[in-house]
Structure 1
Amino acid sequence: LSTEPVSVMFKVYCLSVMTLVAATYTVVLRYTRTVSSTVMYFSTTAVCITECIKLFLSLGMLTKETGSFGRLKASIVEHVFWSPKELLKLSVPSVVYAVQNNMAFIALSNLDAAVYQVTYQLKIPCTALCMVLMLNRSLSRLQWFSVFMLCLGVTLVQWKPAEATKVQVEQNPFLGFMAIAVAVLCSGFAGVYFEKVLKSSDTSLWVRNIQMYLSGIVVTLAGVYMTEGAQVIEKGFFYGYTPWVCFVVFLASVGGLYTSVVVKYTDNIMKGFSAAAAIVLSTVASVTLFGLQITATFACGAMLVCVSIYLYGLPKQDTTKLPRADTDKEARQKLITV
């Protein structure tokens, strides 16, 4: 984490923006897939455009970091054109993130935004498991307890899911849940893999992002023409795009950058509050926009998920330092022995 001093107001600002982006993204994406239009756009093209925008934003941040276009050019030549192995290494999370982003479109085409937001928190135990296996980290008993609590909460949410009455398309809740399951696995693995790559060298975060997004553009373009190539050629790359769809792409693009800032300047407890707030906002928006009817099991499950997120983010107790009384007692025992 960064040691740069930042004000509490700046932290609150970053968390507020990330919370609003996360909640708004799920709600607006759900709206574009179920209510807004009878002409359905191609989700794979939206994912591809998002990768392109992230690349340009990362180039802008790297320009700011290096201080000049000359240094930017030198950095790109060194880490992109002369580092094919690094590009290949970053292509792994590119593929995984591309799958994850496409699964989000499938999930929100079949599940309400609030149900999606709660269920997607399964990424926490998945990430924890990947950290244990890939980074040799350990979890406290409280964190393991919170993981089981979160799984119980998600089970309750899916047991008798809340129903939306204003959705205009046929839905398949099982398909939506399976899409979230794949997205969760992708999120956990890709996040930990990217962290491992970052910590294996002193290469700038923005350089790593550029390497990943370049690979991501290639991967998502291949995905477009492998899954919907004939339709895209016939109808056009931007078929079905509306201002709402453009808004979805914009939110997806800036959301990742704000997440990086939040990871850099805040702690797990504040991120937990942000996730819980996003769940609440998504639920309120779903009730208003989609006629969501909240069931008792959904309410209990959502509450368990919010509490588990808070507990998981609590700092570990330092067991290496004994309390003062115990230290004094051991000192007296040593004197008696001597």
Structure 2
Amino acid sequence: MADERVSVVFKMYCLTVMTVVAATYTVALRYTRIITSELYFSTTAVCLTEVIKLILSLGMLSKETGTPVRLKNALVEHVLCSPKELLKLSVPSVVYAVQNNMAFVALSNLDAAVYQLTYQLKIPCTALCTVLMLNRSLSRLQWFSVFMLCGGVTLVQWKPAEATKVQIEQNPLLGFTAIAIAVICSGFAGVYFEKVLKSSDTSLWVRNIQMYLSGIVVTLIGVFITDGEKVLEKGFFFGYTPWVCFVVFLASVGGLYTSVVVKYTDNIMKGFSAAAAIILSTVASVVMFGLQITVSFASGALLVCVSIYLYGLPKQDTSKLSREDADKESKRRLITV
């Protein structure tokens, strides 16, 4: 009984932390893109995030292996002597790099609550990639929830809520285009990484290290292609404030923490977490940015939250149901006879 209570408490802890991190990251990133007078280079923030993730993954692998010698052997075997694996993991590295940069573009042009709601389009995108790449099937309820979610996002974008305290010029079309690219990247990269993980017994942290090493190279290339001259002139950390550092920290820890949370929670809890993050982001946007809620925005937000919950409901075991129906039919025939 005590173990069960501890398990429930731990799951609630995971749920709470995941919700707060998701909502805080979105609102804080939005804040840094509209308040700071000397705007930092988003490409450097994405690169720095990959570096921190690599360091944290090395720490987790060190804990998993137990000794420095085993850690060294694991790195030699899976990193230095596995160029094919590094190349394989470079695919999601490139895709995630694009996704993370698109998040900065989107939150420079859209409110945090609008972004949080629209970004849930990653669910149908991930579902489609799962069907095509992993040969899985979705239930009728899941397909229904996918269409409901798309309808909710359409309502949110139909008459977007306006933030009265934001004085900078924004391009909502550019913001929505950035989110569209981000959700496609999220769906493909997530399913691709899952497929790679399940193709062998290699440790999750080893796979993360392989991916983040490629990610650092990719994002560094992105820094110098996009902002190379400005970075050389003003410095890599130009425009960095405590808020920007906080955003980088949340991005680094949030991604790794999510993988841990997935292990100990189910889809229903993740659905509640996403819905709660949307509500928190909306409240924060109203308070911090003067977001004005419209009827279409509220209706769309409600549809999105309900669809997330429905999508996470466990599938019914149809084979079990068919057996039960067969047993009932047999009993009915015996009674009839």
Shorter-chain TM-score: which interval?
over 0.9
Q: Distance in 2 between matches of 1:183 and 1:5?
A: 38
The answer to whether 1:140 aligns with 2:136 is no
The answer to whether 1:67 aligns with 2:66 is yes
The one-character-per-residue Cα deviations of 1:229-279 (angstroms, maximum 9, x if unpaired) are 000000000000000000000000000111101111111000000000000
Could you tell which deviates more after superposition, 150-159 or 254-263? 254-263
In structure 2, what residue type is equivalent to 1:41?
Answer: Y
Q: Distance in 2 between matches of 1:293 and 1:335?
A: 65
Q: Who is 1:208 aligned against? A: 207
The one-character-per-residue Cα deviations of 1:58-114 (angstroms, maximum 9, x if unpaired) are 001011111111101100000000000000000000000000000000000000000
Q: Who is 2:126 aligned against? A: 127
- Asked whether the equivalents of residues 149 and 304 of structure 1 are also in contact (C-alpha less than 8 Å), the reply is yes
Root-mean-square deviation over aligned CA pairs:
1.7
The answer to whether 1:310 aligns with 2:278 is no
Using the TM superposition, give the Cα deviation of residue 168 of structure 1 relative to its aligned residue in structure 2, in angstroms: 2.9
The answer to whether 1:26 aligns with 2:63 is no
Could you tell which deviates more after superposition, 261-270 or 305-314? 261-270
What does 1:189-208 align with in structure 2 at a 5 Å threshold? 189-208=188-207
Moved over 2 A (4+): 322-326, 328-337
Q: Distance in 2 between matches of 1:335 and 1:290?
A: 69
Q: Distance in 2 between matches of 1:24 and 1:66?
A: 33
- Asked whether the equivalents of residues 118 and 279 of structure 1 are also in contact (C-alpha less than 8 Å), the reply is yes
Using the TM superposition, give the Cα deviation of residue 329 of structure 1 relative to its aligned residue in structure 2, in angstroms: 2.9
Calculate the TM-score normalised by the size of structure 2.
0.96
Percent identity, please.
81
The answer to whether 1:295 aligns with 2:327 is no
Q: Distance in 2 between matches of 1:161 and 1:193?
A: 33
Q: Who is 1:12 aligned against? A: 12
What does 1:86-101 align with in structure 2 at a 5 Å threshold? 86-101=85-100
Calculate the TM-score normalised by the size of structure 1.
0.96
Using the TM superposition, give the Cα deviation of residue 166 of structure 1 relative to its aligned residue in structure 2, in angstroms: 1.1
The residue matched to 1:228 in structure 2 has which SS? helix
What does 1:1-338 align with in structure 2 at a 5 Å threshold? 7-35=7-35, 37-321=36-320, 322=322, 324=324, 326-330=326-330
Change (3 A) 1:329 1:86: same
Using the TM superposition, give the Cα deviation of residue 330 of structure 1 relative to its aligned residue in structure 2, in angstroms: 2.5
Q: How many residue pairs are counted as aligned between the two chains? A: 333
- Asked whether the equivalents of residues 112 and 286 of structure 1 are also in contact (C-alpha less than 8 Å), the reply is yes
The residue matched to 1:316 in structure 2 has which SS? coil
The residue matched to 1:320 in structure 2 has which SS? helix
- Asked whether the equivalents of residues 87 and 212 of structure 1 are also in contact (C-alpha less than 8 Å), the reply is yes
Q: Distance in 1 between matches of 2:336 and 2:154?
A: 57
Using the TM superposition, give the Cα deviation of residue 210 of structure 1 relative to its aligned residue in structure 2, in angstroms: 0.2
In structure 2, what residue type is equivalent to 1:179?
Answer: A
- Asked whether the equivalents of residues 149 and 308 of structure 1 are also in contact (C-alpha less than 8 Å), the reply is yes
